[in-house]
Structures are given as C-alpha cells and as structure tokens.
C-alpha cells in the first residue's frame, strides 16, 4: 500500500504557497480600492467628513462652531437658526450631475430659440459624463433679448432639469449689494444674502438667477458689487456672507443673468459672462412653444383632468404672434372661457376672446393680431 502522508517539509511548502497567494489577492484588492481606503483613513485620522467624488466641502465646520460660540447668550435667533441649519446639512454637500438626455431634448422642444445655450448644456453634460464624480458645471451666462422671449422661464426650467435649487434676484428693484452677500448682523434688519440662502440645501451648487442686470441701480451701495468676486472661480471659493461671517465655497454656483439692453451692462462685468442673444421665436417655433406651455399648464392645473392633453393645431397657430410670456396667460383665460361655454376644449374663438379681454384691461399693451 502506498502512503499518502506528506512530510513536514512538504506541508510547510504548501502552506507557504497558500499564504503567498493570499498576499497577492490582498495586495490586488488594496490596489483596486486604494482611493476609497485613503479617504477613509484620512477621515478617521482627522475626524472630518469624507469627501467623495461628486461632492465638495462648502465650509469649515469649526468656523460655524466658533461663530456660534462667539455670541454665547447674545446670539440673534435668526442667525442661530441659519448656523444650526448649516450644521445639520453638513459641511460636505453634493454637486450637480449632468441632466438626462431626454430632459435636455425636452427643453430644446420647449425653448427652440435657445438652441445655442442648450448646445452648451449638451457639451458640458458630455464632459461631465467622463469626469470623476460626473460633476456638471456651467460658466456664468448672460442672456440678452427683448422682454417676454422667455429668458427667466428658461433659467427656471433648466434648474428643474438639473434638479438643483434656484434663487431669483430682481436687480431692477434692488438698491444694495446686501441682497446678494447679506447685511451685517449688527443691523436691525440684518439677514443673509441670496447666495447663502441658495446654498442652504443638500447641494453646494444651485442656479442663481440675476434678473434684469441692465437695470441694476447705481449709488453708494450698488447691488452688482459682490458679483465681481462671485463670478471669478478663484475668489468665489472664499465667498463670505456679511450676516453669517463664515467663508463658503461658492465656486460651484451656476450664475445666469438676463437683460434687455446688453450695452447697459458695464464691460468689466460683461467680460465675466458667456453671452447669448436670444431672438424672438419664429412663427413655427411659437407653435412648439405654445404646445409646450399648454402641456405644462395641463399637468399643473386642476382643469387638466377634463381638457385634452394636447393643443389643437388651429389654436396653436393663433398664438404664433404672441410672446412666450403672453402665451400662458392667454391659455388660462381661454380655458376659462371655453368652460363658460360648456366646452372642454379650447377653440380659436377662446383665444380671440382672451386677447380682447386683455386689451380692454390694459389698453396700453401692444396689439396682438390674429392669423
């Protein structure tokens, strides 16, 4: 009979080979997850939150704690609430990711006269798809064009498409820069600015909409002052709200500005934006816009459950001489008029009635004809 017993030397060699194989496997595993392990070890050693791809540190948590401690029992309750909310949200926040291709194409159908801007969104989305964390960014953008072409509506639709918060600042009625960067807490009416308020969310980014930049007021405290630092990435990483008095990284904020007369925007500020002139939509584009506006109102309104999903072609054609801003109001009035006539579908006569009623209420408005 042949013995199957192995000698101690043979068993030792077999164990060494097994150990060597396990070491190779362990080294391979460590190599594959090197980045994650390093971040975990750094976080453990420093006590700070881990920053993963697609995130950034908005502020230093110690600075928030120091700001809270500096007031002791004399802390303004509103300011205390802002600081505690920031702590609860955490210092590390999410960044924007590229929008879905379907959503971008939907925007293209809703805003066909914004195609150059939408093409920029497509290109930046493609870039984000190949970068770590899929971080989507846009340069500061200035949209110029006639009143009513849909500049503000486009910006708000883009924010929804990206799934990020938005904050609108009407510069035509703003008289001081504190609306953007806050007012000092020593003032009786002190409050945080629009940038800080925009970033009081799970995101370290958002869309800041600066409406009517060309009408920004001048004076001792111009409202556009904080924009010079905010629109430059290097300085935006150290943006400070005067009310909060804590530096934040606002470099990921997507700034959009609108204006009617771009020549009224001073050159030093214009140079910080990518400029796009938005034309008035063509009649064929207006048909698509009218249908898009109708679909949006149909989804959002209670009357959508009883009216058709789509706008009739003949009705849409009656709206081709309107501006995008006017379409929504005319459609709402037309729906109400149709209902008063015991109908559940808009007809051309309803659009004509809505326009005549509008002209009677506001005789100074420009006349809108019919085709």
CATH number of the domain at 236, please: 3.40.50.300
Same domain, 302 and 188: no
Q: What span, in angstroms and rounded, lies between the C-alpha atoms of 270 and 288?
A: 32
Which residues, in sequence order, are bridge partners of residue 211? 170
Same domain, 295 and 258: no
Nearest 5 degrees, angle CA 291-CA 293-CA 297? Answer: 115
Q: What's the domain count of the chain?
A: 2
Structure pTM? 0.79
- Of 245, 281, 265, nearest to 140 (Cα)? 265
Q: Is residue 66 part of a domain?
A: no
Same domain, 227 and 307: no
Q: Is residue 162 part of a domain?
A: yes
Please report the pLDDT score of residue 43 as a whole number.
Answer: 47
Same domain, 335 and 201: no
Please report the pLDDT score of residue 367 as a whole number.
Answer: 44
Q: Are 95 and 162 in contact (CB under 8 A)?
A: no
Please report the pLDDT score of residue 190 as a whole number.
Answer: 75
- End-of-domain residue from the set 277, 298, 329: 277
Task: Please list the ranges in the chain whose pLDDT falls under 70.
Answer: 1-49, 72-75, 175-177, 185-186, 188, 217-222, 362-371
Same domain, 142 and 222: yes
Same domain, 194 and 316: no
Q: Is residue 107 part of a domain?
A: yes
- End-of-domain residue from the set 277, 303, 327: 277
Please report the pLDDT score of residue 359 as a whole number.
Answer: 84
- End-of-domain residue from the set 277, 303, 331: 277
Query: What is the span of the domain harbouring residue 341?
Result: 283-361
Please report the pLDDT score of residue 78 as a whole number.
Answer: 86
Same domain, 227 and 324: no
Same domain, 271 and 305: no
Same domain, 155 and 267: yes
Q: Is residue 353 part of a domain?
A: yes
Please report the pLDDT score of residue 6 as a whole number.
Answer: 55
Please report the pLDDT score of residue 104 as a whole number.
Answer: 96
CA distances from residue 163 to 61, 218, 295, 333 in whole angstroms, order as listed:
26, 34, 20, 31
Same domain, 215 and 296: no
Please report the pLDDT score of residue 73 as a whole number.
Answer: 59
């Amino acid at each position: 009979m042949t013995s199957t017993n192995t000698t101690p030397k043979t068993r030792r060699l077999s164990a060494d080979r097994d150990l060597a194989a396990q070491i190779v496997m362990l080294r391979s595993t460590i190599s594959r997850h090197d980045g994650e392990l390093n971040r975990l070890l750094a976080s453990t050693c420093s006590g700070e939150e881990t920053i993963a791809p697609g995130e950034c540190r908005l502020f230093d948590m110690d600075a928030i704690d120091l700001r809270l401690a500096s007031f002791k029992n004399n802390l303004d309750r509103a300011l205390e609430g802002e600081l505690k909310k920031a702590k609860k949200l955490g210092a590390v926040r999410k960044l924007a990711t590229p929008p879905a291709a379907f959503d971008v194409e939907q925007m293209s159908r809703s805003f066909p006269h914004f195609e150059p801007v939408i093409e920029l969104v497509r290109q930046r989305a493609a870039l984000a798809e190949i970068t770590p964390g899929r971080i989507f960014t846009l340069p500061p953008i200035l949209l110029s064009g006639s009143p009513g072409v849909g500049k503000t509506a486009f910006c708000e639709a883009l924010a929804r498409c990206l799934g990020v918060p938005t904050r609108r600042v009407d510069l035509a009625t703003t008289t001081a820069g504190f609306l953007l960067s806050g007012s000092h807490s020593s003032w009786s009416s002190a409050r945080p600015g629009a940038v800080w308020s925009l970033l009081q969310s799970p995101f370290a980014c958002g869309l800041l909409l600066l409406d009517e930049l060309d009408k920004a007021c001048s004076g001792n405290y111009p409202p556009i002052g904080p924009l010079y630092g905010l629109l430059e990435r290097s300085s935006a990483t150290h943006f400070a709200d005067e009310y909060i008095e804590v530096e934040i990284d606002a470099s990921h904020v997507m700034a959009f500005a609108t204006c009617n007369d771009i020549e009224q925007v001073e050159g030093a500020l214009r140079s910080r934006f990518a400029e796009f002139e938005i034309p008035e939509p063509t009649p064929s584009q207006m048909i698509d816009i009218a249908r898009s506006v109708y679909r949006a109102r149909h989804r959002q309104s209670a009357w959508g459950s009883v009216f058709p999903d789509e706008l009739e072609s003949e009705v849409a054609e009656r709206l081709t001489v309107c501006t995008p801003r006017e379409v929504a109001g005319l459609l709402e009035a037309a729906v109400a008029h149709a209902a008063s006539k015991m109908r559940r579908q808009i007809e051309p006569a309803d659009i004509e009635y809505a326009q005549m009623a509008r002209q009677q209420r506001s005789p100074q408005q420009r006349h809108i004809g019919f085709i």
